[in-house]
Structure 1
Amino acid sequence: MNIDMIKIFKVIFLGIVEGITEWLPISSTGHMLIVDEFLQLNASKAFKEMFFVVIQLGAILAVLGIFWGKMFPFQFKDKKMPYIRKDVFSIWFKTAFACIPGAAATILFDDYIEARFQTPLVIAVALIFYGIAFIQIENWNKKRSPKINRLSDITWQTAFIIGVFQVLSIIPGTSRSGATIIGALLIGVSRVAAAEFTFFMAVPVMFGLSALKLIKFGFHFTGSELLILGIGMVTAFLVSIFVINFLMSFIKKNDFKIFGWYRIAVGILVVVISLIH
C-alpha cells in the first residue's frame, strides 16, 4: 500500500466537503468537482468518478442513523412479532415511485452528462440559476401558506412531481437535495416536510447510483484505493451527522434564501476563476 499523508488530508477535506454539501441545497457533486480542480486527488479518472459518488454512502448512513425511528417500517414490542408501521411503508412506496423519473434519466443520460457537462462553467451556471430560483420561490412563499405540512401528508401525485424535479439534478451544480426541495416548495410542501422527503429519496437514489458506479469501476481496488474510499466515507458520515441536525433546526425558523445567495456567490466565483485560468 502506497499512500502519503498529503493524499489522506485531501481525502479528509473532500469528505468534509461532501458531508456539508450533500444535505445543504448547494450541490455536493458541483463542490467536489470544483475542489478537485484546485486540490486534485492523485488517482485515475475512473476511480475519481466512482469516488465522488460512492463517498456519499457515508452521508447516507448518517441519515439512516438520525432518522432510523422515522424510516424503519417495523416496530418490536416485548419480543413478539414485529408491528408493521403502515404509515412508514406508505412513505417508502411513495419514495420509490418518486425515484422512477430520476432513475430513468440517470440510466439513459449519465454517461453523456459525465462526458460533456462536468465543467466549471456548467456548474457555475447551475449554481447561479438555482440560487436565483430559491430566492424567488421563498419570496413567493411569503404570500401563501403550505398545503402539506407533514411528511405523512405527501400524496402519490406530490411524490411523483417532486421526483420529476429531481431529474434536474443530473446536471452538475444543480444539487439533488436542492432540486427536490425546489419542487416540493413550488407545489406547497412545507420546508421541514420537503427536507424529510429529500432524506427518504436520498437513500435508494444514492445506494442505486453507488451500485452503478461500483459495477462500472469493476470492484478491482488496490489497498490504497480502499483506504481512500474508507477515509472519505467515514469523514462524510461524521460531518453529515452535524450538518443534518443543523439543517433541520435551521429551517424550522428560517427559509432557504441564504443558500440561494451562497449558490450565486460561489457560481460567480467559479466563473471569475475559470476566466482567469
Structure 2
Amino acid sequence: MDILLLLKATILGIVEGLTEFLPISSTGHLILVGDLLDFNDERGKVFEIVIQFAAILAVCWEYRAKLGSVTSGLLQKQEAAQRFTLNLFIAFLPLAILGLLFGKAIKAHLFSPVPVALAFIVGGLVILWAEKRQHSERIQSVDDMHWKDALKMGLAQALALIPGTSRSGSTIIGGLFFGLSRKAATEFSFFLAIPTLTAATIYEVVKYRHDFHADDLGIFLVGSVASFVSAFIAVRGLLRYISRHDFTVFAWYRIVFGLIVLATAYSGAVNWSAA
C-alpha cells in the first residue's frame, strides 16, 4: 500500500470529520484540501463518499440513546417520537428536492476553490451579523419544535447546496434566526445530518458504483477511522463550546481562510487547479 496515499487518506478523513458538523463547511474544505493533495479525481470523489458516511456513524453513536428512544417510541406510537421523526422528514425535503433539481448545475459551476472561498467569506459575515442580533429563544429543546420550525430549518439547510456555505452552519445559524436556543439549533443540525447525509451517500454510491474497487479498501478503512474519530471529537467539542461561547470564532475563521485562498489564487502563490 502506498504510504503517501494512506497519509492523504488520513488527512482528508480528519478534515471531513472535524468540519462536517462545525459551521465551516466540510465540502469546501474537502475541495480545497483535495486540490492541494491532488486527490480530487473520480477516485477522490468515491473516497469522500466513504468518509462522509463514517462521520454520520459518529453522530449516530453519540446520540445512540436518543435514537434508540425515538425508535422505541415509534414502535409504541408515542406522539413525541412521531413528531420528532416527522420534523426531521420535513426538514430533509427542501435540500433533497432542490438538490435533485439543481445539484448537477451547481457542481458544474461552483465546485472550485474561488467560489468556495467567496462562500466562506459571505458565510462568515452572516454569522457575525447573526451574533450581533438580539436572540429571542422560543425553543429550548428539539422536542419542542413545531413542523413549521422544521420547515424553516430545512430551507436554511438547502443553502448548503452552495459549496463553502456549510450545511451545519446554515442550519445552526438559521435556527438562531428562527428562535431556537444554541443547543436546540446545534442538536437539530446534528440529527438532520443523519437522513440528509445518508441519502446523499446512497445517491453517490449508486452514481459512482463502478468506481469502487477492492484495491482501495485500505484507504477507505484508514480514512473512515480518521473521519469517525475526528467527527466524534468535533460533535462533543462543539456542544461543550456553545455552552459558554457564541459562533463568532467560526465566522472569523471562515473570513480569514477565504481571504487566504483568494489571495493565493490571484497572486499565483498556490496553483489551485480550478482557480
TM-score > 0.5 by shorter chain: yes
1:106/1:50 CA distance change after superposition, 3 Å? farther
* 1:52 alignment partner in structure 2: 48
**Residues 29 and 52 of structure 1 are in contact (CA less than 8 Å); yes or no, is this contact kept in structure 2?**
no
For 2:24 and 2:115, how far apart are their aligned partners in 1?
Answer: 14
Answer yes or no: is the 8 Å Cα contact 1:10–1:39 preserved in 2.
yes
CA contact 2:43–2:211 (8 Å) conserved in 1: no
CA distance 1:104–1:74, change in 2 (3 Å): closer
1:204 aligns with 2:195: yes
In structure 2, distance between residues paired with 1:108 and 1:230: 33
Task: Look up the match of 2:233.
Answer: 242
Which of 83, 93, 102 does residue 86 from structure 2 map onto?
93
CA contact (8 A) 1:74 1:84 kept: no
**Contact kept in structure 1, 2:27 and 2:166, CA below 8 Å:** yes
Shift of 1:257: 0.9
Query: What per-residue deviation string (whole Å, max 9, x for no partner) do you get for residues 118-173 of structure 1?
Result: 11111011100010111110110xx3431111111111001001101111101110
**Distance in 2 between residues matched to 1:229 and 1:86, nearest whole Å:** 40
How many pairs were matched up? Answer: 266
2:131 maps to what in 1? 138
The structure carrying a bigger helix percent of its residues is 2
| d(CA) in 2 for partners of 1:85, 1:67 | 19
Instruction: Rate the CA distance shift 1:168–1:144 in 2: closer, same or farther, 3 A.
Output: closer
Residue pair 2:127, 2:173 contacting (<8 A) in 1 also:
yes
Post-superposition shift, 1:27?
A: 0.3
Asked if residue 106 in structure 1 is aligned to residue 96 in structure 2, the reply is no
8 A Cα contact 2:90 2:151, kept in partner: yes
- Counterpart check, 1:166 vs 2:157: yes
Task: Please tell me whether the aligned partners of residues 42 and 211 of structure 2 are also in contact (alpha carbons under 8 angstroms).
Answer: no
Matched, 1:119 2:117: no
Partner of 1:179: 170
User: 1:67 is matched with which residue?
Assistant: 63
Structure 1 counterpart SS, 2:264: helix
CA distance in 2: counterparts of 1:257 and 1:16, whole angstroms = 23
| TM-score of the aligned structures, taking structure 2 as reference length | 0.92
Alignment partner of 1:36 is 2:29: no
Where structure 1 has 5 or more consecutive residues not aligned to the other structure, the ranges are: 77-81
Q: How does 1:207-246 map to 2 (within 5 A)?
A: 207-246=198-237
Q: 1:204, 1:168 → 2: CA distance?
A: 17
Structure 2 unaligned blocks of 5 or more: 269-275
How has the CA–CA distance of structure 1 residues 213 and 55 changed in structure 2, closer, same or farther, with 3 Å as cutoff? Answer: same
Q: Distance in 2 between matches of 1:65 and 1:168?
A: 27
Which residue of 1 is the match for residue 186 of structure 2?
Answer: 195
Aligned-partner residue type, residue 226 of structure 1:
L
| Secondary structure in structure 2 of the residue aligned to 1:124 | helix
Given candidates 14, 25, 28, the residue that maps to 1:27 is 25
Secondary structure at the counterpart of residue 156 of structure 2: helix
Q: CA deviation at 1:219?
A: 4.6
TM-score by structure 1 length? 0.91
Is the CA contact 1:92–1:200 (under 8 Å) kept in the aligned structure 2? no
CA contact (8 A) 2:46 2:211 kept: no
Would the aligned equivalents of 1:181 and 1:198 in 2 still touch at CA under 8 Å? yes
Q: CA deviation at 1:55?
A: 1.5
For residues 78-124 of structure 1, what are the alpha-carbon distances to aligned partners after superposition, in whole Å with 9 as ceiling and x for unaligned?
xxxx7555423321211111111100111112221111111111101
